[in-house]
Amino acid sequence: MSAPITVPGTLDDQTMSRSAKLAVVVAALGYLVDIYDLILFGVVRRPSLQAIGVTEDQLANVGHLLLDVQMAGMLLGGVVWGVIGDKRGRLSVLFGSILMYSVANIANGFVTDVTTYAILRFVAGIGLAGELGAGVTLVTELLPAKTRGWATTLIAGIGICGALLAVGVSKIATWYVAYWIGGVLGLALLALRVGVFESGMFARIKAKSDVSRGNFLALFTSRDRARRYVGIVLVGVPIWYAIAILVMFGDSIGRAMGMERLPDPAWGLFWCYLGLALGDFASGFASQVMRSRKRALLAFCGLNVVALAYYFTFGSRSTDAFYVGCFVLGIANGYWAVFVTVAAEQFGTNLRATAATTAPNFVRGSVVPVSFVYLGLRDALGGEGVGEATAALIVGVVVIVVSMMSLRAIEETYGKELDFVER
């Protein structure tokens, strides 16, 4: 390990300083606004599409299309912001990503056709891809090894509540005003960034000309790195399968399960994200108490099996039981805090932002192939209104089994020293 290099404008990465505390606050609030904007489309999908002239029989298909476009933007944005984070710094990503998705979401309030809606969701997706990875990377590098897990748990737990805010705002404001509010909140957040310093770890690596930084392809040039990276991505896939398939389109699945009163996706998201917030605090707490990230992830993957079983049995008996199912799914999938922490801790400082930013967005982007398979199975099993439930169950079993198997590919990172580089 090289001797520390003093760099003006940065703080010692082992000191719980005022800047480190502010970094936690900025990352947590930034993620809250990020989740608000990310989930808002799912919440206002129906009224916004109806307002621009989409017919009832096309709501589900157009909704899937726009969600896929948004997630495709996040896939691209994850790579772009990750590379920028390792080349120019974590703070550059915090500023640029928040500015981009805030402006895009304000513009979303003015859409009048599906094409414009799709373009703006794509741009917003690119912007939304950067904030979480950059924030978690910065915080893990600023805080001591034994306490950074608590900080990332706080970031994820508070941030997830952005979905609850999105549902609440959608119930008292029109869909376009809800978009404007999200954009304004993001722009206001930029003022908090002023007092945050870059991490000392990154500054020392940046001062070394012989260290390659932000090379996304380097994650795959080593068999060991590729194994760790693909492993952590696959571990997270069930989270967005549950959100984007089981909850966002719960009305369609509920119809296929024979429910008389179809659930409102907005309330499904509310209860799911309430469970996710509780689950994030619980999983982060468990990983700190057990002194193991992997054991905490395994426990919640196992809980996911129970949640899936409830959703497809008791959850179909009534709308209220369905909402309970969404809440249970949220708790079981509330290991996002541990997931993003492990993604940051798996790799050296020169690739950390790239890995920590792309991995969550590849998980989010997995909605595209997962949705493609789900819709294909749905059509093969009877089409819309008939095959949704069976198709969703089959896909769910597969992604959960794969996630549990993928745990073997990642390293245990609790208490790991992060001041190292990938060669």
CATH superfamily entry for domain 12-409: MFS general substrate transporter like domains (1.20.1250.20)
Tell me the mean pLDDT in the region 29-55. Answer: 88
How confident is the model at residue 18, as a pLDDT? 72
How confident is the model at residue 16, as a pLDDT? 47
CB contact burial 208-246 (16+ within 10 A = b; e otherwise):
eeebebbebebbeeeeebebbbbbbbbbbbbbbbbbbbb
Considering Cα of 311, then 314, then 318, then 321, what sign does the dihedral take?
negative
Neighbour-count burial of 36, counting CB atoms closer than 10 A to its CB (0-12 exposed, 13-18 middle, 19+ buried): buried
How confident is the model at residue 190, as a pLDDT? 81
State how far the Cα of 350 lies from the Cα of 352, in Å rounded to an integer: 6
Short-list 194, 275, 180, CA closest to 25: 194
How confident is the model at residue 248, as a pLDDT? 85
How confident is the model at residue 50, as a pLDDT? 92
Short-list 90, 117, 131, 220, CA closest to 175: 117
Range of lowest pLDDT (72-76, 210-214, 406-410) = 210-214
Q: Yes or no: say if 273 and 164 are a contact pair by the CB < 8 Å rule.
A: yes
Highest mean pLDDT: which of 118-122, 203-207, 265-269? 118-122
The pLDDT tens digits for 329-362 are: 999 999 998 999 999 999 988 899 899 999 998 9
Tell me the mean pLDDT in the region 306-311. Answer: 94
Neighbour-count burial of 119, counting CB atoms closer than 10 A to its CB (0-12 exposed, 13-18 middle, 19+ buried): middle
How confident is the model at residue 409, as a pLDDT? 94
Report the 3 state secondary structure along the chain: CCCCCCCCCEECCCCCCHHHHHHHHHHHHHHHHHHHHHHHHHHHHHHHHHHCCCCHHHHHHHHHHHHHHHHHHHHHHHHHHHHHHHHCCHHHHHHHHHHHHHHHHHHHCCCCCHHHHHHHHHHHHHHHCCHHHHHHHHHHHHCCCCCHHHHHHHHHHHHHHHHHHHHHHHHHCCHHHHHHHHHHHHHHHHHHHHHCCEEHHHHHHHCCCCCCCCCCCHHHHCHHHHHHHHHHHHHHHHHHHHHHHHHCCHHHHHHHCCCCCCCCHHHHHHHHHHHHHHHHHHHHHHHHHCCCHHHHHHHHHHHHHHHHHHHHCHHHCCHHHHHHHHHHHHHHCCCHHHHHHHHHHCCCCCCHHHHHHHHHHHHHHCHHHHHHHHHHHHHHCCCCCCCHHHHHHHHHHHHHHHHHHHHHHCCCCCCCCCCCCCC
Which pTM was predicted? 0.83
pLDDT band, very low/low/confident/very high, at 10 (cuts 50, 70, 90): very low
Q: Yes or no: say if 121 and 130 are a contact pair by the CB < 8 Å rule.
A: no
Q: How many CB atoms lie within 10 A of CB 165?
A: 20
pLDDT more than 70, % of the chain: 94
The yes-or-no verdict on residue 94 having pLDDT over 50 is yes
State how far the Cα of 241 lies from the Cα of 374, in Å rounded to an integer: 10
pLDDT band, very low/low/confident/very high, at 385 (cuts 50, 70, 90): low
Range of lowest pLDDT (67-76, 196-205, 303-312) = 196-205
Q: Which residues pair with 199 in a beta bridge?
A: 11
The yes-or-no verdict on residue 4 having pLDDT over 80 is no
Short-list 101, 73, 42, 401, CA closest to 248: 42
The yes-or-no verdict on residue 68 having pLDDT over 70 is yes
pLDDT band, very low/low/confident/very high, at 195 (cuts 50, 70, 90): low
How confident is the model at residue 337, as a pLDDT? 86
The yes-or-no verdict on residue 13 having pLDDT over 50 is no
Q: Which residues pair with 11 in a beta bridge?
A: 199
Range of lowest pLDDT (52-66, 126-140, 379-393) = 379-393
The yes-or-no verdict on residue 281 having pLDDT over 60 is yes
Give me the count of residues in the chain. 423
Range of lowest pLDDT (109-113, 167-171, 324-328) = 167-171
Range of lowest pLDDT (224-228, 372-376, 400-404) = 372-376
Q: How many CB atoms lie within 10 A of CB 405?
A: 13
pLDDT band, very low/low/confident/very high, at 133 (cuts 50, 70, 90): confident
State how far the Cα of 111 lies from the Cα of 48, in Å rounded to an integer: 9
All structural domains of the chain with their residue ranges = 12-409
For residues 411 and 147, the model is more confident at 411
State how far the Cα of 325 lies from the Cα of 193, in Å rounded to an integer: 38
pLDDT band, very low/low/confident/very high, at 206 (cuts 50, 70, 90): confident
